[in-house]
Amino acid sequence: MPSENPKGREDLREAIMGFGEKSVRKSYYPQLRETFHKLQRFKALLDHTRDFIFLVDVNGKIVDVNKSSLQKLGYSKEDISSIFEIIPTEYNDNFRELLSKKEASMEMPLLKGDGGLILTEMNLNIVKFNGDNYAVIVARDIIGRKKLEEELRKSLEEKEILLKEMHHRSKNNLQIISSLLNLQAMTTDAKKETFKETQDRIKSMALIHEQLYQSEDLARINFKEYAEKLIKNLLNSYPMGKSVTTKLDIENITLEVDTAIPLGLIMNELLTNTLKYAFFGKDKGTIEVTFKRLKDNLELKIADDGIGFPEDKLHESKSLGLKLVNVLVRQLEGRLSVKSQNGSCFKIIFKG
């Protein structure tokens, strides 16, 4: 039988309670203390991050906010109770739309305590705590980034203007050279045909610079547009008193300047050769120009229904034009071939 002595009962109670308290301290207190320290470290981390971090409920009520947000925005925790108090009125509907999504991102300004604004990139994620939805909002100040982007944009614009001016002046200088050659041809005993061919080569390069400074892309050109203009210029440049029809099958392919210039000169030489010699003894003729992509390669074909071209003369010709074609094809690391059947067909294949 237990003692009826009240003091005995109290001693027994204290012994039992003391044993329990010691057990709890021994088994749970170290874990609780470590967990508490972890929470303190995590809170310190959030409080000192540069980002604005908010935890809000589905109605926008601020449940928690990191210390650095309050410091940067110039508020105390008691000053703001809703996220809508620091979002400009005109953005409220946009933010409500964000709250309706599981995750979202957009640029949004935050109102400072002094009335100023901080432009941020805001990311929002919906999470569950004890069965209720909350929004975790992480916003980053992007004013510095925006200023840098603006400086880069202005710098690029200045460079584009300089490049346009460079291409414009290059085109004008090439035109001056062409005009000087024309004057020289009028006053010299040398073959005017030689000056004419040189002029056409210069014009083919000037046309590329003209197209470059007129376009938004200063490093590449649409070769279809260029080829159509070049062919038109050459047809006007060689009035033969014959009916020459052109058939064009040119894909919309954009080429770098370093590729477009040699390819343009190749086209100029082959078309000039065709216009001068292919239709000898004929009243009319047809020229077909094809330019297309074949997997990793580009293929240019210039064909005619004229008198044909000796296939064995392609790499042995003493003609300056064909010598130039061979040099330029090697520059493009391409292959040049010709077939002479019912006319001639020059084909160039190169990597592109």
Distance, in Å, from the CA atom of 30 to the CA atom of 41, rounded to the nearest integer, reads 16
Q: What is the pTM of this model?
A: 0.52
Q: Is the pLDDT of residue 1 over 50?
A: no
Instruction: Give me the pLDDT at residue 186, please.
Output: 61
Which ranges of 188-214 does DSSP label H, i.e. alpha helix?
A: 192-214
The residue extents of the domains of the chain are 48-141, 159-218, 225-352
Q: Residue 23 pLDDT > 60, yes or no?
A: no
How far is C-alpha 294 from the chain's CA centre? Answer: 25
Taking the domain 225-352, which CATH number applies?
A: 3.30.565.10
Kindly report which listed range (12-21, 170-179, 281-290, 326-335) carries the lowest average pLDDT score: 12-21
Highest mean pLDDT among 13-27, 54-68, 161-175: 54-68
Contact 152, 169 (CB under 8 A): no
The answer to whether the Cα torsion of 250, 252, 255, 257 is positive or negative is positive
- pLDDT above 50 (res 171): yes
Q: Bigger pLDDT: 26 or 43?
A: 43
Give CA separation, 270 vs 26, 34, 247, 292, 345, in Å.
96, 84, 15, 17, 10
CATH number of 48-141: 3.30.450.20
More confident residue, 67 or 25: 67
Does pLDDT of 21 surpass 80?
Answer: no
Does pLDDT of 298 surpass 60? yes
Quick one: what percent of the chain has pLDDT higher than 90? 23
Q: Where are the beta strands (DSSP E) in the chain?
A: 52-57, 62-65, 103-111, 117-129, 132-141, 220-222, 243-250, 254-256, 284-294, 297-304, 335-339, 344-351
* pLDDT score for 2: 47
Of the given ranges (148-162, 186-200, 229-243, 280-294), which has the lowest mean pLDDT? 186-200
Residue with tokens 């305590």: 113
For residue 304, which of 349, 245, 250 has the smallest C-alpha distance? 245
Residue 329 has pLDDT above 90, yes or no: yes
| CB 349, CB 335: distance < 8 Å | yes
Burial code (b: 16+ CB inside 10 Å, e: under 16) for 6-30 equals: eeeeeeeeeeeeeeeeeeeeeeeee
How far is residue 124's CA from residue 127's CA, in Å, rounded to a whole number? 10
Residues of the chain with pLDDT > 70, as a percent, come to 74
